[in-house]
Every structure is written in structure tokens, then in C-alpha cells.
């Protein structure tokens, strides 16, 4: 269900639950979304670097995680009921250390971790891989952790400050009025009979250094709107003003200059990069197209600087995209978007394909870049929890129109439209209350109690053993 919006995902999960319960099926559900696990699973196995590091009942895993990797996964999920400026990452909880004998062990961090923010009391003992079964391995002491309540405090680390903009005194960087974008529907014998309005009379403003979140179901017009703002799709009507200039009629050199100020980070980083180009060449490409950045050495130095800025090793610039993970490829795309020093970046589902731990790293990076360079974002996603974490304001879109727009906290706490309430209700929260509801529902259906899935058969060795 990774590629589905929250309402379709909820429908698919309901269908899977119904099929499982009515047919008595067993199911292995593979996902990086722990909220989905809480919705559908009876038991959980947490995998890291090819080995099972923790396993047990879903309630046990979510209420009392033992392994630091599990704690990190639970903590790095954005929450809807809190306003935070930094997401914990797995590296805040653990590190992999190689012993003198060459054995790799996981060490739970005690230094460098803000206990108040993460509400953890950790030790620094080593954990061998694959030694947890929903109970605390003997190699380290348990730490208190309650994912159902506060996973991170609202205190703001010094490296992150909230975006500041004043709608009453600051003119908008992007101003859209009555924008209309349609696609022709051809008749049987040719000729255009009518238009499908993907964007229908949309008006809004985006202010300097602000993040405007754009949320809605798949097919509601989010990406079409984004591409129209960038002049990748021509509008049928309306106005788009960027930095005080109307841009829908700009052509030639004026449009070329505009491209330097507006960039986009797409959803799929692999298809966004030419597999034939090394990542250094991909990041340098905008500099070559717009003939900026000085001579070849200066351009290469600029590429190295950009890669380092997005936490990639500059020595990797001669590698190809397939040699990187999804999160690393997305960092390359972010570096390329920054190459021309733009004022405005659209992130179109830019973290939807990433697992929660990598997603947290990329979201933190985007926030830090905004603080450092004064960037203005439109952040597009169907995940309202991610949008809320990133955004100053949220705009909800449905069938080409704006349902509502307002401060991020207000949209979540007091949604005015039924459509917005439906989106919020469809989000898998992963709270203990939600897990209890699912377990109560199954018991009410008189489904036979599941025996301990981790018990070892007398004739079979541990089924999770590598051997």
C-alpha cells in the first residue's frame, strides 16, 4: 500500500482484513509504515541488515520496544497531535560498531541523545544482531518508551528555527488567481467535445520562506497544479505571479531566467536521474545549461559543495544512480535542485517512496536547507502527518478545487470540511489505542485465538535462524 493515498490505503486494508478473517488466511504483510502494521498485524518481526532484531506481539512491540532500531523506527514517524521542528532518526538511537574480531554489533547510544526530546533513558551496551523476541535481550537494560503518547517533545533544537513570514506586511512570492488547467476529451470521430478540468479556479498565495503543504487524494490535481506553476503545463486561464511578475505569458529568455528561480524535486528519484550520467554530471547539468558557475574546475567544486551540503560524500560524484539507495538518490535530486540557488522549490511527493527512517532524514534536511537558504516550498503529499510536520500552512485539494486552507495545526485540530476530516480519519496512527481497537474487533468476530507465532516447534529449529 506504499504508493496509495490514505483513503485508498484504508480501503485496501479493510479488504485485506475481511479476506483474512472470513477465509481464515495467514498473511505476511511487508511494509516500512509502522502505522499500517498497527492496523493489520497480529505479530511483528523487525528486520535490519538482513537479520531479525526484534519480534513479538504487535502490542508488545509498540508499547515496549526493546531494540534501539525498533525504538528509532517508532520515534521517527511524524505525529499529528504535536508540533515539532525535528524528527528523530534511527542514528539518534544506535550505531553499528565493528569489534576487533570483525564482528558487527549494535550499540545503543547514550551520548548525544536529547533525553528530554526523545523521552528515552538509554544505555550504551552492545546488542548482537537478531537476538530479540519481543523480550529484552540480556545484553542491555530496558529503557522506558511510550510511542502512543509523546515521541518527541516540542522543544526546538538550536539548529532548527520555525519559518517566519508575515502575511500582513510581506508580499507573497507566489500568487495564484483563478487558475484553470484542463485536458481535452476527444470524441469518437475526433474533435474536442469537452475538457476535464484538473485544476478549476484555484487561488492562493505562498509567502517567502514559507512552506505551504498541498494534500489530497491521488488524481485531485496536486501535481498538475505544481507543473503549471513551473510552466511545464500551460494553463487555460487565470494568473500566476512570481516575485511580482505575471509568468503565464513569459517566453524565450524571460522563461529561461525564470527556470533558475523555480525548481522541483520529483517523487521517484531513480526516474528523475539519467542512468547514463554520473551523479556529479547530473548535479552539474543545470550549471551547464544556464552557463553559470565559472569554469570547469569551479563548476566541479560547486558540485562537490552541493553534495556535501546534502550529506553525501563528494568523492561519490563519479558513481552512477543505480549505486545509491533511494534516500541517497533523492539527496542527489535535492542537490541538483539547489544548483542554481532558486527561491522556490516544489517537493512533489518527494518522500513518499522512502522508508520512515530515511524519510525522517530527508525531511530534516529539507527543513535545514530552508533555514540556511531562505527557501520557499510547496510540499505535496497525500500523507497529512508528513505535510503537517513540514508546513506552516496546509491547502487541501479535491477534484481540482481547494477544499480549505489554513494554518497546519488548525487544519488538523478543527477541519471545516468533511473531505478533510475523511483524510485525517484515514491516516494509520499506530497508537496503542488503535491497536487495542483492532484487537477488540477481532475478538468480537469470535476469531480463534492465535497461538504464539514465535514458539519453537520441537521438530524444527528456530524458523528465524539464518541457518
Q: What are phi and psi of 81, to 5 degrees?
A: -95, 10
pLDDT(145) > 60: no
In a domain, 421, yes or no: no
In terms of domains, do 403 and 440 share one? no
**DSSP-based three-state secondary structure for 159:** coil
What local confidence, expressed as pLDDT, does residue 152 receive?
A: 35
Q: How does DSSP classify residue 316?
A: G
Work out the average pLDDT over 157-169: 49
Count how many domains the chain has: 2
CB contact at 8 A, 54 and 46: yes
What local confidence, expressed as pLDDT, does residue 248 receive?
A: 92
In terms of domains, do 105 and 215 share one? no
What local confidence, expressed as pLDDT, does residue 166 receive?
A: 58
In a domain, 467, yes or no: no
In a domain, 82, yes or no: yes
Cell numbers 537558504 label which residue?
373
In terms of domains, do 183 and 102 share one? no
Work out the average pLDDT over 274-284: 95
Cell numbers 497508537 label which residue?
431
* Cell numbers found for residue 212: 505551504
**Considering only CA atoms, which of 169, 207, 155 is closest in space to residue 370?**
207
Distance between CA 467 and CA 461 in Å, rounded? 9
In terms of domains, do 190 and 295 share one? yes
Distance between CA 403 and CA 341 in Å, rounded? 33
Work out the average pLDDT over 2-27: 88
* Average pLDDT of the residues of the chain: 81
Distance between CA 307 and CA 111 in Å, rounded? 28
In terms of domains, do 214 and 93 share one? no
Of the listed ranges 26-30, 87-91, 424-428, the least confidently predicted one is: 424-428
Helix 356-373 to helix 326-338 angle (10° resolution) is 10
In terms of domains, do 152 and 256 share one? no
pLDDT(404) > 90: yes
Q: Can you give the length of the chain in residues?
A: 467
In terms of domains, do 148 and 181 share one? no
In a domain, 337, yes or no: yes
Distance between CA 419 and CA 401 in Å, rounded? 12
In terms of domains, do 132 and 216 share one? no
**Considering only CA atoms, which of 377, 419, 414, 369 is closest in space to residue 396?**
419
> Positive or negative CA dihedral for 260, 265, 271, 275?
positive
Cell numbers 538511537 label which residue?
93
**Domain range for residue 53?**
6-158+430-444
* pLDDT tens digits for range 169-194: 789 999 999 999 999 887 776 666 78
CB contact at 8 A, 108 and 94: yes
State the DSSP string of 130-152. T--SSS--TTS------TTS-SS
- pLDDT-based confidence at residue 353 (cuts at 50, 70, 90): confident
Distance between CA 436 and CA 38 in Å, rounded? 9
Distance between CA 191 and CA 184 in Å, rounded? 9
In terms of domains, do 233 and 350 share one? yes
In a domain, 265, yes or no: yes
- pLDDT-based confidence at residue 427 (cuts at 50, 70, 90): confident
In terms of domains, do 131 and 107 share one? yes
Q: How does DSSP classify residue 320?
A: -
**Considering only CA atoms, which of 429, 360, 428 is closest in space to residue 148?**
429
Distance between CA 9 and CA 2 in Å, rounded? 8
pLDDT(266) > 60: yes
What local confidence, expressed as pLDDT, does residue 144 receive?
A: 36
In a domain, 454, yes or no: no
**Considering only CA atoms, which of 22, 49, 426, 395 is closest in space to residue 210?**
395
- pLDDT-based confidence at residue 110 (cuts at 50, 70, 90): low
What local confidence, expressed as pLDDT, does residue 7 receive?
A: 85
CB contact at 8 A, 180 and 237: yes
Distance between CA 392 and CA 358 in Å, rounded? 22
* Cell numbers found for residue 231: 510552466
In a domain, 199, yes or no: yes
Q: What are phi and psi of 92, to 5 degrees?
A: -75, -20
CATH number (domain holding residue 349): 3.40.50.300
**DSSP-based three-state secondary structure for 424:** helix
In terms of domains, do 139 and 237 share one? no
In a domain, 464, yes or no: no
pLDDT(344) > 60: yes
In terms of domains, do 152 and 207 share one? no
Amino acid at each position: 500500500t506504499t504508493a496509495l493515498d490514505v483513503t485508498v490505503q484504508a480501503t485496501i486494508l479493510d479488504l485485506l482484513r475481511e479476506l483474512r478473517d472470513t477465509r481464515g488466511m495467514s498473511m505476511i504483510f511487508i511494509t516500512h509504515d509502522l502505522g499500517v502494521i498497527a492496523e493489520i498485524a497480529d505479530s511483528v518481526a523487525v528486520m535490519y541488515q538482513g537479520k531479525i532484531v526484534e519480534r513479538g506481539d504487535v502490542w508488545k512491540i509498540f508499547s515496549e520496544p526493546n531494540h534501539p532500531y525498533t525504538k528509532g523506527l517508532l520515534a521517527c514517524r511524524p505525529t499529528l497531535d504535536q508540533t515539532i521542528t525535528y524528527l528523530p532518526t534511527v542514528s539518534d538511537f544506535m550505531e553499528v560498531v565493528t569489534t576487533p574480531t570483525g564482528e558487527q554489533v549494535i550499540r545503543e547510544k547514550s551520548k548525544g541523545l536529547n533525553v528530554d526530546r526523545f523521552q528515552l533513558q538509554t544505555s550504551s551496551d552492545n546488542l548482537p544482531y537478531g537476538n530479540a523476541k519481543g523480550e529484552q535481550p540480556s545484553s542491555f537494560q530496558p529503557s522506558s518508551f511510550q510511542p502512543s503518547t509523546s515521541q518527541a517533545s516540542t522543544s526546538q533544537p538550536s539548529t532548527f528555527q520555525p519559518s517566519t513570514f508575515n502575511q500582513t506586511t510581506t508580499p507573497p512570492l507566489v500568487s495564484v488567481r483563478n487558475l484553470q488547467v484542463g485536458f481535452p476529451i476527444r470524441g469518437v470521430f475526433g474533435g474536442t467535445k469537452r475538457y476535464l478540468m484538473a485544476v478549476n479556479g484555484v487561488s492562493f498565495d505562498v509567502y517567502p520562506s514559507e512552506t505551504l503543504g498541498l494534500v489530497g487524494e491521488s488524481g485531485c490535481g496536486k501535481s498538475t497544479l505544481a507543473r503549471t506553476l513551473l510552466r511545464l503545463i500551460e494553463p487555460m486561464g487565470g494568473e500566476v505571479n512570481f516575485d511580482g511578475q505575471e509568468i503565464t505569458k513569459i517566453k524565450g529568455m524571460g522563461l529561461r531566467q525564470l527556470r533558475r528561480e523555480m525548481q522541483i524535486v520529483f517523487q521517484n528519484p531513480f526516474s528523475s536521474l539519467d542512468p547514463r550520467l554520473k551523479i556529479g554530471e547530473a548535479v552539474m547539468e543545470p550549471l551547464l545549461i544556464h552557463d553559470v558557475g565559472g569554469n570547469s574546475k569551479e563548476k566541479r567544486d560547486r558540485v562537490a559543495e552541493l553534495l556535501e551540503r546534502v550529506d553525501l560524500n563528494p568523492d561519490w560524484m563519479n558513481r552512477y544512480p543505480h549505486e545509491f539507495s533511494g534516500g541517497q538518490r533523492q539527496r542527489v535530486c535535492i542537490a541538483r535542485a539547489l544548483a542554481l540557488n532558486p527561491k522556490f522549490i516544489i517537493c512533489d511527493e518527494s518522500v513518499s517512496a522512502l522508508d520512515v527512517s530515511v524519510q525522517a532524514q530527508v525531511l530534516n534536511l529539507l527543513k535545514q536547507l530552508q533555514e540556511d537558504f531562505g527557501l520557499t516550498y510547496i510540499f505535496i503529499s497525500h500523507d497529512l502527518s508528513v505535510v503537517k510536520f513540514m508546513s506552516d500552512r496546509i491547502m487541501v485539494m479535491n477534484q481540482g478545487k481547494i477544499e480549505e486552507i489554513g494554518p497546519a495545526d488548525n487544519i488538523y485540530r478543527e477541519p471545516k470540511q468533511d473531505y478533510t476530516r475523511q483524510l485525517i480519519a484515514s491516516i494509520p496512527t499506530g497508537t496503542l489505542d488503535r491497536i487495542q481497537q483492532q484487537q477488540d474487533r477481532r475478538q468480537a468476530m469470535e476469531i480463534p485465538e492465535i497461538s504464539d507465532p514465535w514458539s519453537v516447534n520441537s521438530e524444527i529449529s528456530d524458523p528465524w535462524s539464518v541457518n
